[in-house]
Structure 1
Amino acid sequence: MGVKGKLIASMEVKCSGHSFYDIFHTNTHHVPNISPKNINHFEIHEGETMKAISIVSWKYNEAGQKIYMRHLVEDVDPHKISITWKLIEGDLLELYNYFNVITSCDYQWTTWTIEYEKKTEDTPESLIHLGFILDLTNDVEAHLLEK
């Protein structure tokens, strides 16, 4: 059994948390246009736009590498303004037994939680992935402020 980890980052955003949530809930297909330097491709394979049990994939650039991941949308909670993604396929599963991402928004804060289990003790903590998510958050915020 690997070493479990959890990273949490909250970031104040100048736009409302509801607007931020809306990008990832109903307008996720726009994220590659909002952050083209980070996201190369987004696709819904099963289900509807970011509904629970939907399966989606992302291709993105992280630390100079092209990464692929496929997620199951485990939960979408409009009351908590949160979405939970469970990684089911992709490059990160070479390093981690599981890798889940939870985003939640509250007023002018967005919080990202990454839960994972490393395959070995030598696997690095997921700080690069968290940095990528925070960079993406900045791009989404800038897009929302342009409106």
Structure 2
Amino acid sequence: MANGEAKVAKERIEAVEPEKNLITFRVIEGDLMKEYKSFLITIQVTPKHGGPGSIVHWHLEYEKISDEVAHPETLLQFCVEVSKEIDEHLLSEE
């Protein structure tokens, strides 16, 4: 798939662990499923020590359909954008 091309994904929440500020999604339908057998996204937020703000860790666990399929680097910008949206949402609730 070309860079910058819009993609569609439907995901299911697999796990929510509020005490760890962690949520896991499994992609179950959409464009990613054309290239990957499985795709799991875990987001964990850790408050920064000694200062305001938090650190967001994204863990992408996937199995490619074949060796020809590229690693999902194109999703990195998506992760950045979603992290910014979460940040804006949380700041608006303070």
Unpaired runs of 5+ residues, structure 1, are 1-61
Kept after mapping to 2: 8 A contact 1:114/1:130: no
Instruction: For CA contacts below 8 A with separation 6 or more, give which structure has more relative contact order.
Output: 1
**Alignment TM-score, normalising by the size of structure 1:** 0.52
Q: Secondary structure at the match of 2:83?
A: helix
Deviations 1:4-40 (A, max 9, x none): xxxxxxxxxxxxxxxxxxxxxxxxxxxxxxxxxxxxx
Residue type matched to 2:74 in 1?
I
**Alignment TM-score, normalising by the size of structure 2:** 0.78
Deviations 1:88-134 (A, max 9, x none): 11110001000110001110111111000011111111111122111
Q: CA deviation at 1:142?
A: 4.2
Aligned to 2:23: 83
Aligned to 1:14: none
* Aligned with 1:72 (options 1, 6, 12): 12
Q: CA deviation at 1:66?
A: 2.1
Unpaired runs of 5+ residues, structure 2, are 48-53
Aligned to 1:105: 45
Residue identity over aligned pairs, in percent, reads: 28
**Count of aligned residue pairs for this structure pair:** 86
Name the Cα RMSD after superposition. Answer: 2.0
Aligned to 2:86: 140
Q: CA deviation at 1:138?
A: 2.5
Kept after mapping to 2: 8 A contact 1:73/1:86: yes
